[in-house]
Amino acid sequence: MEGINTCATCHATLTDAKLRGPAKDYVTSAHRDERIGCVGCHKGDPRDPTVGAHARALGFIAHPAQSEVAGICGGCHADADFIRHVNARLPVGQYALYSLSLHGRLAAGGDERAPTCATCHGKHDVLPPASPKSPVNRANVHKLCGGCHSDAKRMSPYQIRTDQLSKWEKSVHGLAFKKGNPNAPTCNSCHGAHSATPPDASSVARACGRCHEEELALFEQSPHSKGFRRRGLAECVACHSNHDVAPASSLHVGVTPDAMCTKCHANDEKPMKVADTIAGLLRGARDRSAAARATLARARDAGLVVPGSSFALDQLSTAELKLRAVVHTLDPMRLEAPIASIDRAVAEAEKLVSDVETTRKTERRGYYVALTVAGLLFLSLLLKSLELDRRRRQGTP
Amino acid sequence: MMGTDGQGSSWLGARIGWDAIRATLSAQRVARRNFSHFLGGITLLLFLLEVGSGVLVLLYYRPDVAQAHASLERIVGEVPYGDLIRNVHAWSSDLLVLSLVAHMFTVVVRGSFRSPRELSWWSGQALLVLCIGLAFTGAILPWSQEAYLQARVGSELARYVPFVGNWLHHFLRGGDEVTSSTLQHAFGFHVAALPAAVTALIFLHLFFVQRRAATTPRDDDAPTMPVYPDFLVRQAAAWTATFVVVMTLAIFAQRSVGVAADPRLPSVVGARPPWYFLAFHHVVRVAPRDLLGMDGARFLVAAMCGVGLAVVALPLLDRRGSRLTAYLAWIFLLACALLSAYALT
């Protein structure tokens, strides 16, 4: 059967766009491979150039039912021996994962609305996920998931929220994604792709911890870790929320009414004293960092090039990241080391600016002297020319 | 260095024959005129400042897309007096184009281009073109985002030049696109080919000017003065003043190095060409889609090229150095100034 595909050649000439379209889409799809062909999904006999190719006896399927699609795709994609010959880089576990996912379970239960392979990947125009045109490309995944999950009508039978996409777009993750950060998470970064499942309270920290490894490790050393587990609270989400994760800097640790701690703790509780201490330390470090950044910005605005300023800023940012991570321990003593790192970076940045300003002042003094000498030379030449004029008028040579 | 009483010379004077030189210079007379008379000399000084500061910048500059901008940052930020030298280079470049244009303008207004000074005029025109080439290639070398855009837009506009547009576009880019080749070519032309050609042309221009000195048509009867000491003392005062202006600008008005070029970044909002291309750029930008059956931008660029050719051919078109040419020059200057001001708004 390999090498002969009369389906595509015949369908490409048909006048009915519905029958011609698939043949056109196929030739630019990821499945354009003689080992797959139309017969890979539709069966039939591709060597027969007549309608005999469509004989039901040959297993021909004109329109696979929704419930059949995953099985048809899985027929090849779960076949490790076939896949390693066609594209050795492809994984083979998608069908198994999909079958376990909520999407897969709903589809297997006969839910015609449940997404199956073609819902996300497309039908005849399946493209590799690396293609920017593919709906499952990293750049498009949020639109793909949001296409269904933001649709209130479509989601109403499942009684789930539909604000995930709008919240994510405004979140620190969504904003980083929009800026082009290649590490910013999109839907499948947390929920998985084929295994799409909402992380529950017990697994959410593991979803976050895949990227925020240090924060998770430090959090597990904190008194919150056991307490949250005991109360069945979703670890990270309790403070950071899930889709609308706010920037860490805007999460107020402290005792003020807008502080996150007040969600669970009354102001007269002992933990709030710790929160107040941590808030004070964070505020001090933040103010000193902001002052150092302002000093560097002022120097730049004044036209001063401060060698090493980028490195100093990087050091400052790294120290701030470290501090924000250590906050998860809720141990004020452990904040001292990262705060000391911030103070060192602040001192380094301020010293750099001060050195450049001192050099600039010294240079300026030299320039003033040079300009004065040049100015005096100009004046003397001017006087000389006036004297020459005067002598010419008087007739003196 | 020299004997002042004409009776003898200093050690050096005796060896260079100063008395003879002084006698020649004292015997030669030039018209006694206003400040405009020193513009040629000022332009020469600015070119020498460009060469001097350029050689120093060259010691640390690296003509490579990956390193060019970082090397410039190093020159400005770390090399002792690097910012001063680079500022001198950047400001002298602007002032050089300004003084060249002013020099040319006074020559047109005074009618000094007319016969027998055609060769002075044409060598001067060639110098203007080469110096603008120096400024254009020099603006690419920082390989900042602005420099990258300037290289792209400047070379793109060259396409509109009649007959040679495509060739010029390809030549300016060193290929079809703005790439590392563009930087490499700009560097080669900026530090070697163009300075060598300008130096040779300066000698030629001075030779032509010297051979036909003081034959300016409309002030033949103007009072004159000896070259030495009267003219040279004035010229030295003009040079000193120019030097003071350049140094003051270089010390107090820092020239930005911008951010490193990144072709993936969107265009800089409000990006503008250098001041001497503003009027030209603005005309192309506001050109109607269709003008007399031709592409508007192409038509206007062709018209501007026509004006440029007419300027070059001025000694042939206006053999008397008439006042009409002077008036047209004033109108042209005013139009350019207005277009530039409008482009800035």
Pairing of strands B290-291, B224-226: unpaired
The alpha-carbon gap from B240 to the nearest alpha carbon of chain A, in Å, equals 6
Percent of chain A with pLDDT over 70: 97
pLDDT value, residue A164:
94
DSSP string, B251-294: HHSPPP---B--TTSPPPTT----GGGHHHHHHHHT--SEETTE
Burial B232-250 (b: 16+ CB within 10 A, else e): ebbbbbbbbbbbbebbebb
Pairing of strands B224-226, B29-31: antiparallel
A-chain residues within 8 Å CB-CB of B244? 371, 374-375, 378
CB–CB contact B77 A305 (8 Å): yes
Mean pLDDT for all residues in chain A: 89
B66 contact A CB<8A: no
pLDDT per position as a tens digit, A30-67: 998 888 888 889 988 888 888 888 888 888 988 888 88
CB–CB contact A307 B78 (8 Å): yes
Selecting from A305, A306, A385 the residue whose C-beta is nearest the C-beta of B237 gives A385
CB–CB contact B247 A364 (8 Å): no
pLDDT value, residue A139:
92
C-beta atoms surrounding A69 within 10 Å: 18
Q: Which residues contact A319 (CB under 8 A, 6 or more apart)?
A: A338, A341, A342, A344, A345
What is the full per-residue pLDDT of chain B (345 aa) written as tens digits?
Answer: 444 444 456 889 888 989 899 998 888 888 777 777 889 999 999 999 999 999 999 999 999 999 999 999 889 888 888 989 999 999 999 999 999 999 999 999 888 888 888 899 999 999 999 999 999 999 999 999 889 988 988 888 888 888 899 999 999 998 888 989 999 999 999 999 999 999 999 999 999 888 776 445 455 566 778 888 888 999 999 999 999 999 999 988 888 888 888 877 776 666 778 888 888 888 888 888 888 888 888 888 999 999 999 999 999 998 887 888 999 999 999 999 999 998 887
Q: How far is CA A205 from CA A165, A193, A210, A229, A230, in A?
A: 21, 18, 8, 11, 15
pLDDT value, residue B114:
84
B78 contact A CB<8A: yes
Nearest chain B Cα to A384, which residue?
B233
Mean pLDDT score, A2-24: 81
CA dist., res. B192 & res. A33, Å (int): 56
pLDDT value, residue B214:
45
| pTM assigned to the model | 0.66
pLDDT value, residue A347:
96
pLDDT value, residue A120:
94
Structural domain spans, chain A:
269-366
pLDDT per position as a tens digit, A316-365: 999 999 999 999 999 999 999 999 999 999 999 999 999 989 988 888 89
Q: How confident is the model at residue A103 (pLDDT cuts 50, 70, 90)?
A: very high
Q: Return the half-sphere exposure (C-beta side, CA atoms, 13 A cut-off) of residue B259.
A: 7
pLDDT value, residue B6:
46
Q: How many CB pairs under 8 A join A and B?
A: 49
Mean pLDDT score, A211-222: 92
pLDDT value, residue B269:
66
> Which position has the higher pLDDT, A232 or A339?
A339
pLDDT value, residue B5:
46
Of A323, A321, A316, A322, nearest to A353 by C-alpha is A316
pLDDT at residue A160 greater than cutoff 50? yes
